[in-house]
Structure 1
Amino acid sequence: MIITSFKHSNKLHWCIAISSCDNGVELETEIKNFLNYNYTPEYIHLLRPDNSENYKITKERIPNFEKIKIDEFKYSSDGKIINTSNGLEINENIYSEISKSICTYFLVKYDSILKAGLESYFLLPSGVHATHFIRIANIFKESHDINILAIFLLPYFKNNPDIIYSDTPTIFPLVYSCILYKNMNNDKVYNPRVKFYSSNRVTKDEIENIGNSLFIVSTSINGSLPKKLNDLGVDWSKITVLFSFDKNNESLYSVMSKQNSLEILSTEFVSKKPEEFKKLFPNRTFEIKFEDEQFIPSPPTISRFKIILKDAPENLSDLMYNYLKYDFVSCYKGQNSLGKTRDIYIDVSKLFIDINKDNEDLNHFEKKTKNLIINQLPINIKSIIYVDDAESKYIADKIKEYYKIAHSKDVESVFYKDLKLDDSFSEPSCYLVCSSCISNGKKISDVSRKLRTQEHSQIIYFNGFVRCIDEKAYSNLMSNIKYGKYNDFSTYSFITIDKILLPNEDSDSISWEFEKELLKSLLHGFNDFGTNQIINEKTKSFFQERYDALIKNKEGLINNVYLNKSNGSRLFLNKNFAFFKFTDWKPEEIQQSKVYFSILSVLHNFRIKKNIKQTIYERHIFDPENFNRYNDGIIQASFLRAATNKELNYEIDRDSSSLMTTIINSSIEENENKDTAPYEFLMAICIGKLTLQKNDLNSIYEKYKEHPDNIIGVLLQVIYSKYLEKNE
């Protein structure tokens, strides 16, 4: 089964599609898992096979599902989708939205859209040049997914065509699934012939029984192949495109799924004749040639990127300046909606000390909050609602305390799940919804849904800190929350004290998690690394202390974000840090967690500005020169922890691997004398974060395997066991 979501008539809809080969579906479990990433819908469309069992959704067992409308549909072997409650066929508009949503889901799920590099283009079989190519074969891997897709192709088999023509053999599983559906519960077997035609060489002589055939085109960006078939005498009604990106809304051929490239990739597909394409993209000179489904791609374009001062977020320096002395950031703490430990944990309560003091004694956060209470909070607040954790409650209680002083009025502070609402209450009032730190806004969206019944009331959303993945996500969050009775403008207030753009916190690949598992193997005898014979008591104590810090970190990692130096001291940030515009600080004042936070935000801001996306044709790797330019050990360690494994994949570029090897060698050699981070470099290799070409990795091992620093020796033995031993 699959679950997708889409907007229709300003409402959020879900489609739950169950395949004919899905047995024993844990429907409610799947819904709860989907809720971890998505907003609660207002409508659900449940699609199941005609001859399958009934699937009941018990709303009471799923949070916030009490008022959701559920329509159940059955799809039959003739391609009809019928509402089980009234026996009517599905509404055309809903059918279109569901079809588009499901087909888009598969395009994205199987990464089937290939993007050419910045200097390359695809030469398609039709002779046109294109910026993208739809690798349709990627989609047809799982039988239950193919069966769901077949639902939307079945209507085009209604006249039982004698021959099914396809432009590629890779879609045969989909055609076969449709034929199986057609033969379900049918006495007369439907057994058409399936033939394949070459999209760039098809001629009229190759086509037989043209009047009772169905011509399937797997994908079309500009409608050129359907037009070619029509020129050969094939009627438009006999041509069906599975995935069409053609912008022409008046196309005469049938389309199973009309797609919009902007909605999928936030970029336009361009497919034009060679002369027109070269005018648009004069710098794209490398050709990637296709012959139907066989293609010979050029090696991926390797782009090495360097970080400069301008890559820092505009507000980073001010943020650090305002909150330098507060312990508001820690690493590897708390749990996200998936139950995974968070990479960055922002504790706003550490910034909210006492707004009852004189204004000049307040910090930046307290001043802005105090100004909010004085100038923007009305006197008729009915409830202060906190949405999630202890920090939100702390803020709600602080505001409640100050509000009482300012307005001589008591107001209740309540957890949003415990909020009792009187739906008949019609007097104007105000609700203040407090959140300490939000990323996707899922919980305040739940509050928003709950407060919809209070249409006469003012709702103010107070957010201490917002960490979204980009400005678009932040804008969408604001517009969704502020949307209300008056559609033409914002109904409700959405106030953010501070904001930073950071990667999604739902990643389960953060370095500390892998490091913890590696240390567990080293210390407790579950490893095959062969280190038991070489590890000494001092090294074992070093690893044990580090392991304890990772598993007993109730306050998160603050000044133990990175491995200590060989002398036992922690890595410090030296003066004149490039991304801080202020200088009145001492190295010991800058916590390691704040350094990681800063570097992570810089890297993420760079990715957004440069639209960095890793594809099989384009690779962006972190230029090793960055480690020379920013040569403080703590900054190097931050880069290693904050960059992705794809950005640190030097195995794909010989020169980068060689340069990175030199940097690591230098770090090991200067370990005792300078501020370097050899343990961090070697740990990054051990946990698979940083990769080098095998000969370079072997050269590091051979050079330093007898190093007097036993920690280095043990880490090198792990590297040998994991990556080198099997190649001997």
Structure 2
Amino acid sequence: MENTASALSPESVYFICEQAYSEKLFEYFSKDNDVLLPVSHARDIVVLSYSTEGEVTHGNTLRGGNPLQFEWPVVSRQGLTQLFVSRGGLVNSGPTSHFVKPSKKPDRRFLRASSALSEGAEIFFAGLCLLPHLKKEVRTIHLDTSSIASVVMASLLMSRREDLPKIRTFHSYEKLKQHNFSKDETEVVLISASQSGQMAAQLAELVGRRSQIVTIFSSSPSLATGETLCDLKFDGIMNPAGIPARKINDNFEGSRPINLVGEHFLSEPEAPRAALPGVLQNPSINRSFISRLAGRQVFSCNFKKNRYMPSKSVWIDAGQFLKTENYKEWLELICLREIPAAVAAIVYIDGSDGSEAFAKDIVDEIKRHGVASNCRLISLTEIDGSQGSLPTSPPDKAPIVIAGGITGHGDDLLSVSRALRDWAPSSHRVFLTPICVPSSLAALKVLDQNLCQPRSHVFKYMDAIVIDRQKLSGSWERERQFLSDRYDELPSDLRDRLNVLNSSKGMINNLFLSGKKSQLSLRKNFAFWPSDVDCQAALQADVFVAISCLIQNMRTNADVASDRRIVNNSNTHTVIAAGAFARFNDGVIQASILRAAEPVELNYTDAPDESRVMGGVIVDMIKLVDRQQGEAVTEFLMAILTGWIQLREQDMALVRAELDKNVNLNEAQSWLARCIPS
């Protein structure tokens, strides 16, 4: 009765009780009308009864001579749907995350039956609906989760059975295939909830009879596999409280996964936190290494070595790097410290950028110091057996130097290590590479361990640029696709931009869309480089690599303070603090942060405060498009259009309003502004 205490009186009320007690209940209500005061204005009050087999029939009328037509299938469906929805059985992930269900499929929503089964009377109502499926001959009941056992027990109590069946749980998908099902008709399988019907389809193969499979709550488009207790789908007439159909082809890119594990676990999405990049999170390589390469054309982005290879988000030109004084100083030092005088061979890796040139430099350097006149320069293909016969093996325990090129995860070096097990199994190996580009320090440590086993081997490198090159090209690929899809309507500047993106040459000082008047460039006093560096000589690629290192350090370095870590997993969503774009107001730095971040790190749709600040930053840029403070506007417009950055709708509305009234945008900026949907 508590649901009627603060609501309008219902039009019709039905009491449902066991058949054996329907007459007694009718007599009780007839004598004591005060019990009916909470529903005193109801036009019709009727007592219904159910049998121990679950058949519901019309009983006695307490009030009203012409009660509404009672249809139990409709009432049970609408009743269970109302319980499921009002008790929070439908769980939404929010706009910046998605569930990965036990079936491994991603989805924005999840059906959780246990949430809907929290009150005694409601559990018995569900048990009544289930009762026809638990016939007297049923001896075993299989459950996908123990959370629905209460419904089964309620149903069995209502059946008045003396010989209770066994109840077993197969723990959802976790142990589905290992569970001992029988094709005997004395067994029933219960599924708590389903959106796709996939589990029922798999069970049909294991159980045999579809009629033995019952899904309690289902929003599956097809109800063909087995029986359904409650079809949750919305129907304006038959089920107005139902669940609307899911969005077709939902895009989960830039969304944080929330893994649903086991039969009960659900990791509720928490509010995102903001991490502000700063000097304390700056990796030492930015100050000691990358800053010293500014303006040397060592770095480029979106580079293809040839048209058949995928583009590299960050390419390090080994030829340019091997010309630098930093490299030459390191080469002399490493040769003196690590290469024994008795070195027998220098092995280089065919096709690895810079490997052969680096090997020749090593040979020249050690000869300059008057050692290893008989040292051989040899390629990997000569010793890996791919050419048939192998060259003469070096003496037992002879030192061998492996000269790597620009090294990512070290597959080339590991290939040499494998080849040496046959060609020079007892050799002492010295692995050298000028630059490592791992995705994390942990990945670099694993490579070191793999190369140096046993511990007598050595792995040395000049420095490690920790970035994830597989992910960093995403923003340019989205931009290229966006412009390609609208090629016929592009203004000339953006057609030229598309040509740059389609080129295999790579981008050095044209990574970013230009401002209204000129391309983006670094001004004096870059916070992440020493003060004596000529910042104005830096190229866009130099700045982008430095910012990429900074952000990757915040993602992967466990030594970074917890409130500055960027963590996105099942339990945590971190965005880059909008204040970063106000703090670092050089357009080239802002554009670098945009491109180096992942979409989930710039998705502010469930971070109201950050979205408001970010929206304000963009609005101010639009207002100041003629000045340095607004030079990155074009980059932000493209990020909005490609979904690389997302704001709450109310903040996006302010951005659109400012764009609509601004008359100072150039042709490309105006065209991009018009593309933003209203």
Q: TM-score per shorter chain, which class? A: 0.5 to 0.7
**Distance in 2 between residues matched to 1:444 and 1:578, nearest whole Å:** 36
> Is the 8 Å Cα contact of residues 337 and 506 (structure 1) preserved in structure 2?
no
5+ unaligned residues in a row in structure 2: which ranges? 1-99, 119-143, 147-171, 218-259
> Is the 8 Å Cα contact of residues 622 and 648 (structure 1) preserved in structure 2?
yes
Per the TM alignment, residue 688 of structure 1 is displaced from its structure 2 partner at its CA by 1.4
SS at match of 2:600: coil
1:180 aligns with 2:205: yes
**Distance in 2 between residues matched to 1:588 and 1:713, nearest whole Å:** 29
> Corresponding residue for 2:641?
686
**Distance in 1 between residues matched to 2:436 and 2:103, nearest whole Å:** 27
> Is the 8 Å Cα contact of residues 381 and 430 (structure 1) preserved in structure 2?
yes
> Is the 8 Å Cα contact of residues 387 and 447 (structure 1) preserved in structure 2?
no
Per the TM alignment, residue 382 of structure 1 is displaced from its structure 2 partner at its CA by 2.5
SS at match of 2:519: coil
SS at match of 1:437: coil
> Is the 8 Å Cα contact of residues 307 and 504 (structure 2) preserved in structure 1?
no
Report the CA distance shift for 1:151/1:714 in structure 2 as closer, same or farther (over 3 A): closer
Per the TM alignment, residue 332 of structure 1 is displaced from its structure 2 partner at its CA by 1.5
Per the TM alignment, residue 657 of structure 1 is displaced from its structure 2 partner at its CA by 2.4
**Distance in 2 between residues matched to 1:565 and 1:417, nearest whole Å:** 49
Report the CA distance shift for 1:616/1:192 in structure 2 as closer, same or farther (over 3 A): same
**Distance in 2 between residues matched to 1:348 and 1:382, nearest whole Å:** 22
**Distance in 2 between residues matched to 1:506 and 1:336, nearest whole Å:** 18
5+ unaligned residues in a row in structure 1: which ranges? 1-104, 115-121, 127-134, 138-148, 183-188, 199-268, 272-291, 354-361, 526-531
Per the TM alignment, residue 178 of structure 1 is displaced from its structure 2 partner at its CA by 6.9
SS at match of 2:602: coil
SS at match of 1:621: strand
**Distance in 1 between residues matched to 2:515 and 2:425, nearest whole Å:** 59
**Distance in 2 between residues matched to 1:545 and 1:474, nearest whole Å:** 39
**Distance in 1 between residues matched to 2:540 and 2:479, nearest whole Å:** 17
Higher RCO, 1 vs 2 (CA within 8 Å, ≥6 residues apart): 2
SS at match of 1:436: coil
Report the CA distance shift for 1:163/1:479 in structure 2 as closer, same or farther (over 3 A): farther
> Corresponding residue for 1:639?
593
> Counterparts of 1:32-431 in structure 2 under 5 Å?
157=180, 163=187, 168=192, 177=202, 180=205, 300-324=270-294, 326-334=296-304, 339-353=309-323, 363-378=325-340, 379-386=342-349, 388-406=351-369, 407=371, 409=373, 411-419=375-383, 422=390, 425=393, 427-431=396-400
**Distance in 2 between residues matched to 1:364 and 1:544, nearest whole Å:** 39
> Corresponding residue for 1:621?
575
> Corresponding residue for 2:548?
600
1:562 aligns with 2:507: no
Match of 2:521 among 560, 563, 572: 572
SS at match of 2:354: helix
> Counterparts of 1:492-641 in structure 2 under 5 Å?
492-503=457-468, 505-507=469-471, 510-522=474-486, 524-525=487-488, 532=489, 540-554=491-505, 556-567=506-517, 569-580=518-529, 582-608=530-556, 609=560, 610=562, 612-615=566-569, 618-641=572-595
**Distance in 1 between residues matched to 2:650 and 2:101, nearest whole Å:** 40
Report the CA distance shift for 1:456/1:619 in structure 2 as closer, same or farther (over 3 A): closer
**Distance in 2 between residues matched to 1:417 and 1:521, nearest whole Å:** 44
**Distance in 2 between residues matched to 1:432 and 1:352, nearest whole Å:** 18
Cα-to-partner distance string for 1:138-195 (whole Å, 9 max, x where unaligned):
xxxxxxxxxxx9998656539988647778566996686477369xxxxxx8999668
Per the TM alignment, residue 613 of structure 1 is displaced from its structure 2 partner at its CA by 3.0
**Distance in 2 between residues matched to 1:612 and 1:713, nearest whole Å:** 34
Per the TM alignment, residue 682 of structure 1 is displaced from its structure 2 partner at its CA by 0.7
> Is the 8 Å Cα contact of residues 346 and 401 (structure 2) preserved in structure 1?
yes
> Corresponding residue for 1:464?
434
> Is the 8 Å Cα contact of residues 333 and 342 (structure 1) preserved in structure 2?
yes
Return the letter of the residue paired with 1:366.
K
Report the CA distance shift for 1:520/1:458 in structure 2 as closer, same or farther (over 3 A): same
Report the CA distance shift for 1:106/1:383 in structure 2 as closer, same or farther (over 3 A): farther
> Corresponding residue for 1:707?
663
Report the CA distance shift for 1:638/1:699 in structure 2 as closer, same or farther (over 3 A): same
Report the CA distance shift for 1:431/1:111 in structure 2 as closer, same or farther (over 3 A): farther
**Distance in 2 between residues matched to 1:304 and 1:649, nearest whole Å:** 11
> Is the 8 Å Cα contact of residues 166 and 196 (structure 1) preserved in structure 2?
yes
**Distance in 2 between residues matched to 1:320 and 1:509, nearest whole Å:** 20
Per the TM alignment, residue 374 of structure 1 is displaced from its structure 2 partner at its CA by 2.5
> Corresponding residue for 1:437?
406
Report the CA distance shift for 1:342/1:390 in structure 2 as closer, same or farther (over 3 A): closer
> Corresponding residue for 2:138?
none
Per the TM alignment, residue 718 of structure 1 is displaced from its structure 2 partner at its CA by 1.6
> Corresponding residue for 2:444?
474
> Corresponding residue for 2:653?
698
Q: What RMSD in Å do the two structures reach over aligned CA positions?
A: 4.4
Per the TM alignment, residue 411 of structure 1 is displaced from its structure 2 partner at its CA by 4.2
Per the TM alignment, residue 451 of structure 1 is displaced from its structure 2 partner at its CA by 1.8
Return the letter of the residue paired with 2:540.
Q
Per the TM alignment, residue 430 of structure 1 is displaced from its structure 2 partner at its CA by 3.4
> Is the 8 Å Cα contact of residues 271 and 606 (structure 2) preserved in structure 1?
no
> Corresponding residue for 1:666?
620
> Is the 8 Å Cα contact of residues 383 and 430 (structure 1) preserved in structure 2?
no
Return the letter of the residue paired with 2:522.
L
Return the letter of the residue paired with 1:440.
H
SS at match of 1:501: coil
Per the TM alignment, residue 596 of structure 1 is displaced from its structure 2 partner at its CA by 0.7
Return the letter of the residue paired with 2:180.
F
**Distance in 2 between residues matched to 1:712 and 1:596, nearest whole Å:** 22
**Distance in 1 between residues matched to 2:375 and 2:359, nearest whole Å:** 10
> Corresponding residue for 1:650?
604
Report the CA distance shift for 1:605/1:410 in structure 2 as closer, same or farther (over 3 A): same
Return the letter of the residue paired with 2:635.
E
SS at match of 1:438: coil
> Is the 8 Å Cα contact of residues 281 and 554 (structure 2) preserved in structure 1?
yes
> Is the 8 Å Cα contact of residues 179 and 190 (structure 1) preserved in structure 2?
yes
> Is the 8 Å Cα contact of residues 190 and 215 (structure 2) preserved in structure 1?
yes
User: Which deviates more, 640-649 or 602-611?
Assistant: 602-611
The aligned length equals 468
% identity of equivalent residues:
20
Per the TM alignment, residue 491 of structure 1 is displaced from its structure 2 partner at its CA by 3.7
Return the letter of the residue paired with 1:492.
H
> Is the 8 Å Cα contact of residues 525 and 535 (structure 2) preserved in structure 1?
no
Return the letter of the residue paired with 1:460.
V
> Corresponding residue for 1:261?
none
Return the letter of the residue paired with 1:396.
A
Report the CA distance shift for 1:176/1:465 in structure 2 as closer, same or farther (over 3 A): same
SS at match of 1:315: helix
Per the TM alignment, residue 478 of structure 1 is displaced from its structure 2 partner at its CA by 1.0
Report the CA distance shift for 1:175/1:196 in structure 2 as closer, same or farther (over 3 A): closer
Cα-to-partner distance string for 1:46-84 (whole Å, 9 max, x where unaligned):
xxxxxxxxxxxxxxxxxxxxxxxxxxxxxxxxxxxxxxx
1:717 aligns with 2:674: yes
Per the TM alignment, residue 697 of structure 1 is displaced from its structure 2 partner at its CA by 2.6
> Is the 8 Å Cα contact of residues 406 and 437 (structure 2) preserved in structure 1?
yes
